[in-house]
Amino acid sequence: MASREITLGVDLGVSFSTAAALIDGRIAFALDARGEACIPSVVHVPRQGKPLVGAEAALLRQRRPEEVLAGFKRLMGVSWESGARRLIDGTSTMRLRRSMSGEVTMQTHTGPISPAEASSILLSYLKGLAEQRFGSEIRKVLLTVPVAFSAPAIEATKLAGRLAGFEEISILNEPCAAAYALARGLEKRQRFLVFDFGGGTMDAAVVDASAQWLKVLSARGDECLGGDDLDAVLSRHIVGELWQTEEIDAEKDRVLFDQILCRVELAKRALSASESTTLRLRDLPGRAHGFEFNVDRPLAERLWGPYLDRAVKVSAEALAFASMRPEVLDRVLLVGGSSRVPGVVDRVSKVFRRAVSVHSEPQLAVAAGAALAAQGRLRVEAGAAA
């Protein structure tokens, strides 16, 4: 491989992960075999052979969910007694176990694996894609983390990076990374709110920036709030309908419940472009027929309302901590895949009384900013709480 030094910027997400680098002054993304930059944060651990990662593992989740690890970022550095563990345990087919030290592990056919180890498999896969794409061995990485990540969670993230083969590892908050991408190319100084609503976390940052420098005035986050929670609450609604119409208790059938989660995630995406969609389940236990349920935006927004309120509250807290009122903001910018969810833009614009814009590629903004931050392209000034 070539000897040029590249520092990889990685958005290690709960649902999807993305790796990017600044190559010849342009941001380039590591792509999988599908040509996609957003890699499902899913790892399949077989009885024999090497783990599968990304899209291939996600496909196996629908057939052999008990062999698949997903959502493990939420378990990074958490104790067995934590709310994050209880949240995952109640909605996932993963078999969680308590380690001797009181931390969470995930049971596989080959033995227990920690969230850091699962993350390292994912990071190693991203590293390989990047090295293949950019033609250079990569030793340095900047990993992004949620604002509310605890010290143990950050240490677990660094451990994952070392296990993946990175020699130098730096850490940056996710909304601050997104701010790098958003500040690039600014023609004049602006103050803006970054609303980062991802698959598993909700973060917000208030930023004062120009094309040459960036100052984070405040940052707040909720590490147990994201698109996965929207999927879960809609899935529980579907479970109730399935019981009423077919008398099938999907909550006691973890494989069926995981299939519902996968169908709901697709329905959520469909609602971003249409007013309604049909959720279909086939091969119901003990039934010769399937199940269909119409999901429309009013139903989804009613179920998602409390979660969207929590997301807006995180942003309001960031603004309050910066001692700023909404009217002094130049822009409110939405990033993260869950920013596309129906109702988010409307709710944020009403609360902050400001026009809201969604990044052209919201799922890529954090990784793009991480790639820029890794190269130190902006002068950064310490703010009140970044």
Write out pLDDT tens, residues 43-55. 999 888 899 999 9
Bridge-partner residues for 265, per DSSP? none
What is the bridge-based pairing of β-strands 379-381 and 213-222?
parallel
Contact in structure between 282 and 261 (CB atoms under 8 Å):
no
Q: What is the pLDDT of residues 341-377, one digit of tens each?
A: 888 988 998 888 887 888 888 899 999 999 998 887 6
Burial group, residue 191, by CB count within 10 angstroms (0-12, 13-18, 19+): middle
Q: State yes or no: pLDDT of 285 exceeds 80.
A: no
Domain interval for residue 232: 227-302
- Spatial neighbors of 10 by CB under 8 A, at least 6 apart, are 17, 18, 19, 20, 123, 126, 141, 142, 143, 144, 367, 370
**Inside any domain, residue 280:** yes
386 pLDDT band, cuts 50/70/90, is very low
**Inside any domain, residue 321:** no
- Spatial neighbors of 230 by CB under 8 A, at least 6 apart, are 268, 300, 303, 304, 307, 338, 341
145 pLDDT band, cuts 50/70/90, is very high
Alpha helices in the chain (DSSP H): 55-61, 83-91, 115-134, 151-163, 174-183, 227-246, 254-271, 297-321, 344-352, 365-374
CA distances from 17 to 132, 309, 327, 365 (A): 17, 26, 34, 12
**Inside any domain, residue 79:** no
Q: What is the pLDDT of residues 14-47, one digit of tens each?
A: 999 999 999 988 999 999 999 999 999 999 998 8
> What is the rounded distance in angstroms from the CA atom of residue 383 to the CA atom of residue 42?
35
Tell me the pTM.
0.89
The three-class DSSP label of residue 12 is coil
- Spatial neighbors of 111 by CB under 8 A, at least 6 apart, are none
**Inside any domain, residue 206:** no
**Inside any domain, residue 238:** yes
Sheet with 42-44: list strands edge to edge. Answer: 52-53, 42-44, 68-70
Q: What is the mean pLDDT of residues 230-247?
A: 92
Q: What is the chain's mean pLDDT, rounded?
A: 89
Which residue reads 């039934």 in tokens?
Answer: 287
Structure tokens at 238: 């579907």
- Spatial neighbors of 24 by CB under 8 A, at least 6 apart, are none
380 pLDDT band, cuts 50/70/90, is low
Q: What is the pLDDT of residues 187-202, one digit of tens each?
A: 788 899 999 999 889 9
Bridge-partner residues for 288, per DSSP? none
322 pLDDT band, cuts 50/70/90, is very high
> What is the rounded distance in angstroms from the CA atom of residue 258 to the CA atom of residue 242?
14
Which residue reads 């609360």 in tokens?
Answer: 351
Which CATH number does the domain housing residue 232 bear? 3.90.640.10
Which amino acid belongs to residue 331?
A: R
Q: What is the mean pLDDT of residues 253-275?
A: 88
The three-class DSSP label of residue 223 is coil
**Inside any domain, residue 271:** yes
Cα(first)–Cα(last) distance of the chain, in Å?
37
In this prediction, residue 186 carries a pLDDT of 78
Tell me, rounded to whole angstroms, the distance of Cα 174 from its chain centroid: 10
In this prediction, residue 5 carries a pLDDT of 84
**Inside any domain, residue 46:** no
Which of 46-50, 150-154, 157-161 has maximum average pLDDT?
A: 157-161
**Inside any domain, residue 274:** yes
Please state the domain count of the chain: 1
Phi, psi angle pair for 268, to nearest 5°: -60, -45
